[in-house]
C-alpha cells in the first residue's frame, strides 16, 4: 500500500532537460540529497537533477525553500540538520523542489540570475560524505548470503545458525571510516593465521573482499528506553545509500570468535554520495520473502517494507576493462531495514539522526547474483576470469563500483556511483 503523490507522477517532466532522458539516475521523481562544493569553495547541500546539482543553500537564501523557517539548514557541510527536522518537513521540501523543477513552473526556470547561480553542472562539483555518520551498525540479513557462508565454513546441512530465522543478526561497526564514493581504500594489515601454522603473522590482507549492501540512514531519533515498532521504524528512515562493506576475510576468520568481526571490517566502508529518500522509493515497496519461522510480534510487519531495487557490481582489474561480476535485487532480503531498526531499539538502545544501518551482504539465489567475491569464487575454488586477468580476491589498483536503481519504466530512481580503488 504505497502512498503516492504528485512527486511520484511518472509523467512529470523538468525544465532541466537532462533529467528527462529516461536513463539518468536523477529524474524529477528522484531528488536525492547530497553535499557538494565547487572550486574549493564551501560545502553545501544540493539535490541531483539530471546532469546538474541544484544548490539548495542558494535557493534557501533566496527564500524559495525554507524547511526550518528563519533558520537555515542547507548552508551546511552535512545533511544532519535537515534530517533532524520532522518527517512532514522532509515531505514538504521534496514536494516544493518537485514543483520548482517542474517544466511548467516559471519561478526558478525564468529567474535567469538565480538559475545561473543555483544550477551547477555535476561535472564541475566535488561530492562529499553526505552526512555525519553518528554510528554504524552492520547486519546479516540475506538468507542466501548467510546460507552460503554457513555452507563454506560450517555445515552445508545446517548452514543457518538456530537464531538466524528469529532475529536480524548484527554487530556495531565503525563510523569513523565510512567514506564517500571515490575515496581510495588502503589495503588493511592484520593478524593472519593459516591452519598450517601454529602462530599468526602480521601482514597485508591477502583476501580483500567486497560486500554489496544497502545502507539505511536514520533521520528521526528514538530516545534511550524506547522500543519502536516496525511501522514507526520505517518512518524514522530518511533515506538509503549504496554501501560497500569492504572485508578482510583472512583477518576475519582468525579474529571473529567469540565476539564477531573487528579489524576485518573497521578499515573502510564506502557509501554513495546521494541519499535517495525513502519517499522516492515509495512506489517500489515489496514484501519481504515468505517467513520460514513465525517472527516474534515486535518484528512482524504488515506493510511491504522491502524495495524492488536492482543492484550490480562492476570490477575493474588493474588496467583492464570494467566488467559486471554480479547482478541481484534488494527484494531478496529476509529482514527489511525497518525490522532491523525495530530490533535495534528492542533493548532500549537509543537511535540518533545520522545512524547508518548496513543491510548485510545482498546475495540472490543464483551464483551470478552473489554479493561478495567470497561467494562468487566460493572461497577461491572458482576464480573469476575478467579482462586483465583472473581474480579470487582484490589486488592493488583494482576498482569496484556498485550501481543501483529502481526501474520505473519511463524513468529510473538511481543512486549514482559507490566506487573505490584499492591501494597498497
Ligand atoms: Ca557486511
Query: For the segment 290-339, what is each residue's pLDDT rounded down to a tens digit?
Result: 999 999 999 999 999 999 999 999 999 999 999 999 999 999 999 999 99
E strand map for 262-337: 269-271, 276-277, 285-286, 306-307, 310-316, 323-329
Asked whether the predicted pLDDT for residue 49 surpasses 70, the reply is yes
Q: Give 131 Cα–ligand 1 centroid separation in angstroms.
A: 20
Average of per-residue pLDDT across 241-270: 97
Q: Give 251 Cα–ligand 1 centroid separation in angstroms.
A: 14
Range 21-34 burial, b when 16+ CB lie within 10 A, else e: eeebbbbbbbbbbb
Q: Give 211 Cα–ligand 1 centroid separation in angstroms.
A: 6
Predicted pLDDT at 1: 64
Q: Give 87 Cα–ligand 1 centroid separation in angstroms.
A: 28
Predicted pLDDT at 221: 98
Q: Give 245 Cα–ligand 1 centroid separation in angstroms.
A: 5
Phi/psi for 11 (5° steps) reads: -85, -10
Q: Give 56 Cα–ligand 1 centroid separation in angstroms.
A: 33
Average of per-residue pLDDT across 79-89: 98
Asked whether the predicted pLDDT for residue 286 surpasses 70, the reply is yes
Asked whether the predicted pLDDT for residue 162 surpasses 80, the reply is yes
Q: Give 214 Cα–ligand 1 centroid separation in angstroms.
A: 10
Average of per-residue pLDDT across 357-367: 97
Q: Give 69 Cα–ligand 1 centroid separation in angstroms.
A: 39
Predicted pLDDT at 242: 99
Q: Give 361 Cα–ligand 1 centroid separation in angstroms.
A: 5
Question: What is the pLDDT confidence band of residue 388, given thresholds at 50, 70 and 90?
Answer: confident
Predicted pLDDT at 296: 98
Q: Give 30 Cα–ligand 1 centroid separation in angstroms.
A: 27
Q: Give 335 Cα–ligand 1 centroid separation in angstroms.
A: 14
Predicted pLDDT at 339: 98
Q: Is the dihedral of CA 159, 165, 166, 168 positive or negative?
A: positive
Question: Among residues 88, 90, 96, which one has the least CA distance to residue 73?
Answer: 90
Q: Give 330 Cα–ligand 1 centroid separation in angstroms.
A: 14
Cell of 297: 510480534
Domains and CATH numbers, the chain: 6-128 (2.30.30.230), 136-423 (3.90.850.10)
Cell of 109: 526556470
**Could you give the residue numbers annotated as active site?**
145
Q: Chain-wide mean pLDDT for the chain?
A: 97
Rounded percentage of the chain residues whose pLDDT exceeds 70? 100
Q: What distance in Å separates the CA atoms of residue 14 and residue 98, rounded to the nearest whole number?
A: 9
Q: What distance in Å separates the CA atoms of residue 400 and residue 132, rounded to the nearest whole number?
A: 24
Question: Among residues 108, 144, 78, 133, which one has the least CA distance to residue 16?
Answer: 108
pTM of the model: 0.98
Predicted pLDDT at 2: 76
Q: What distance in Å separates the CA atoms of residue 141 and residue 144, rounded to the nearest whole number?
A: 9
The conformational region for residue 361 under phi > 0 = left, psi -120 to 50 = alpha, else beta, is beta
Task: Name residue 20's beta-bridge partners.
Answer: none
Yes or no: say if 391 and 399 are a contact pair by the CB < 8 Å rule.
no
Q: Is the dihedral of CA 276, 280, 282, 284 positive or negative?
A: negative
Amino acid at each position: 500500500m504505497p502512498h503516492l503523490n504528485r512527486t511520484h507522477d511518472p509523467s512529470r517532466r523538468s525544465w532541466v532537460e537532462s533529467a528527462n532522458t529516461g536513463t539518468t539516475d536523477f529524474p524529477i521523481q528522484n531528488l536525492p540529497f547530497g553535499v557538494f562544493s565547487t572550486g574549493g569553495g564551501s560545502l553545501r547541500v544540493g539535490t541531483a537533477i539530471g546532469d546538474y546539482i541544484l544548490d539548495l543553500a542558494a535557493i534557501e537564501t533566496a527564500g524559495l525553500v525554507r524547511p526550518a523557517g528563519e533558520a537555515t539548514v542547507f548552508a551546511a557541510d552535512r545533511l544532519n540538520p535537515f534530517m533532524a527536522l520532522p518527517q512532514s518537513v522532509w515531505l514538504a521540501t521534496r514536494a516544493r523542489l518537485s514543483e520548482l523543477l517542474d517544466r511548467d513552473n516559471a519561478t526558478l526556470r525564468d529567474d535567469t540570475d538565480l538559475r545561473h547561480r543555483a544550477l551547477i553542472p555535476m561535472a564541475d562539483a566535488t561530492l562529499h560524505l553526505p552526512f555525519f555518520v553518528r554510528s554504524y551498525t552492520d547486519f546479516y540479513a540475506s538468507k542466501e548470503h548467510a546460507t552460503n557462508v554457513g555452507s563454506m565454513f560450517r555445515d552445508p546441512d545446517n548452514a543457518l545458525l538456530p537464531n538466524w530465522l528469529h532475529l536480524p543478526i548484527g554487530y556495531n561497526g565503525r563510523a569513523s571510516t565510512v567514506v564517500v564514493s571515490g575515496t581510495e581504500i588502503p589495503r588493511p594489515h592484520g593478524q593472519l593465521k593459516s591452519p598450517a601454522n601454529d602462530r599468526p603473522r602480521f601482514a597485508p590482507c591477502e583476501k580483500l573482499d567486497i560486500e554489496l549492501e544497502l545502507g539505511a540512514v536514520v533521520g528521526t531519533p528514538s530516545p534511550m528506553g524506547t522500543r519502536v515498532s516496525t511501522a514507526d521504524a520505517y518512518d524514522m528512515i530518511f533515506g538509503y545509500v549504496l554501501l560497500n562493506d569492504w572485508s578482510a576475510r583472512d583477518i576475519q576468520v582468525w579474529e571473529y570468535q567469540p565476539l564477531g568481526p573487528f579489524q576485518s571490517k573497521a578499515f573502510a566502508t564506502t557509501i554513495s554520495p546521494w541519499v535517495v529518500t525513502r519517499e522516492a522509493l515509495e512506489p517500489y515497496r515489496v514484501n519481504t520473502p515468505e517467513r520460514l519461522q513465525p517472527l516474534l510480534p515486535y518484528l512482524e510487519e504488515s506493510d511491504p517494507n522491502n524495495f524492488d531495487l536492482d543492484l550490480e557490481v562492476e570490477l575493474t582489474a588493474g588496467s583492464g576493462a570494467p566488467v559486471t561480476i554480479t547482478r541481484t535485487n534488494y527484494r531478496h532480503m529476509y529482514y527489511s531495514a525497518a525490522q532491523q531498526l525495530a530490533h535495534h531499539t528492542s533493548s532500549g538502545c537509543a537511535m540518533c539522526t545520522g545512524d547508518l544501518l548496513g543491510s548485510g551482504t545482498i546475495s540472490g539465489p543464483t551464483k551470478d547474483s552473489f554479493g561478495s567475491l567470497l561467494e562468487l569464487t566460493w572461497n577461491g575454488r572458482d576464480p573469476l576470469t575478467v579482462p586483465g586477468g583472473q581474480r579470487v580476491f582484490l589486488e592493488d589498483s583494482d576498482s569496484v563500483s556498485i550501481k543501483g536503481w529502481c526501474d520505473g519504466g519511463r524513468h529510473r530512481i538511481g543512486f549514482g556511483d559507490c566506487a573505490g580503488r584499492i591501494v597498497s
